[in-house]
Amino acid sequence: MAIQALALALGAAVALTMQAPKPSGHERTLQGALRDLKEGLVYSFRDPVMSPMLISAAYVGVFVIGAFQVLFPLIIRDAYGGDNHTQGLRLGALLACFWSASFVSAVVLSRLKPLRQPGRSLIASHLIGAAALFSFGFHKPFLLFAFIVVLWGFAAGIAISTSRTIVQGAAGQRYLGRVLAVYSMGFMGGAPVGSALVGFAAGEFGPRAAAFAPAIGLALASLALAIFTPLWRYTPAQAVCTRASIDRKRASPSD
């Protein structure tokens, strides 16, 4: 913890030395910030691509982040036992496996050509995550558990990269910062809800049975996103055409 605190303090010190351009939005007041947030929400939910992306951010926060934070330590404690030192090593190994795999997949994806249909990759990665969560409900050797976490990490890296790509590609330049703020708000806002729900389920039914709830929820939400929104058929070229159409409408004189 001391090393992490030192690293965080160094990062904050470096950030203070960075020179950033002044924001171009409304005045720097609370009312101005709320106005910008409102405009970002209205713009996002009127867009046929941005609105499902915000929904996906919310359900990932609920079903993935909440389960991730709660289930790992509980499953390690109840299913694999050991003293505090052993449990800590296992938890650290799982987290290292997940985030290392996410980093590797994100780097590999950045070196490849842009995906023609990133929405399909996003939804497929969510379904892989749902399958990984579902497997948590069954006992398995720890090495197999770690291997599944690695596969989940690869899928998570793809999901993180493609979600940012879709949001940045679909949002207009004027609203990009506000849209990203709304997206992050939905993502982080769902996490405490998911943690509370998974924690309650784990207390009532045990951590393994509790894994089924976010797994089924994530799978159903992903399938709904594929069936009822244009995200499955989305291509970056569509975003360019949509932004051009919106710009022409704004530029045309009103009747």
DSSP per-residue letters across 119-164: HHHHHHHHHHHHHHHHHTTS---HHHHHHHHHHHHHHHHHHHHHHH
CATH number at residue 132: 1.20.1250.20
Task: Tell me how many domains the chain contains.
Answer: 1
What is the arithmetic mean of pLDDT over 34-40? 75
CA–CA distance, 197 with 158 (Å, rounded to integer): 26
pLDDT over 60 (residue 247): no
Structural tokens at position 149 = 């976490």
> Is residue 180 within 8 Å of residue 167, measured between CB atoms?
yes
Domain membership of residue 94 (yes or no) is yes
Domain membership of residue 242 (yes or no) is no
Residue 1 has a pLDDT of: 72
CB atoms within 10 A of CB 44: 22
Least confident of 37-46, 158-167, 204-213, 234-243: 234-243
Taking Cα atoms as reference points, which of 217, 221, 170, 177 lies closest to residue 198?
Answer: 217
Structural tokens at position 227 = 């069936």
Residue 173 has a pLDDT of: 76
Residue 246 has a pLDDT of: 52
Provide the residue range defining the domain that includes 196: 61-171+191-234
Handedness of CA 80, 98, 200, 215 (dihedral sign): negative
Domain membership of residue 224 (yes or no) is yes
Taking Cα atoms as reference points, which of 145, 102, 117, 126 lies closest to residue 225?
Answer: 126
pTM of this structure: 0.82
Domain membership of residue 240 (yes or no) is no
Using pLDDT thresholds of 50, 70 and 90, give the confidence band for residue 178.
confident
Taking Cα atoms as reference points, which of 198, 211, 105, 90 lies closest to residue 150?
Answer: 105
pLDDT over 60 (residue 242): no
Residue 172 has a pLDDT of: 74
Query: How much is the mean pLDDT over the chain?
Result: 84
pLDDT over 80 (residue 26): no
Domain membership of residue 17 (yes or no) is no
CA–CA distance, 170 with 203 (Å, rounded to integer): 41
Residue 255 has a pLDDT of: 47
Domain membership of residue 90 (yes or no) is yes
Domain membership of residue 204 (yes or no) is yes
Domain membership of residue 198 (yes or no) is yes
Residue 105 has a pLDDT of: 93
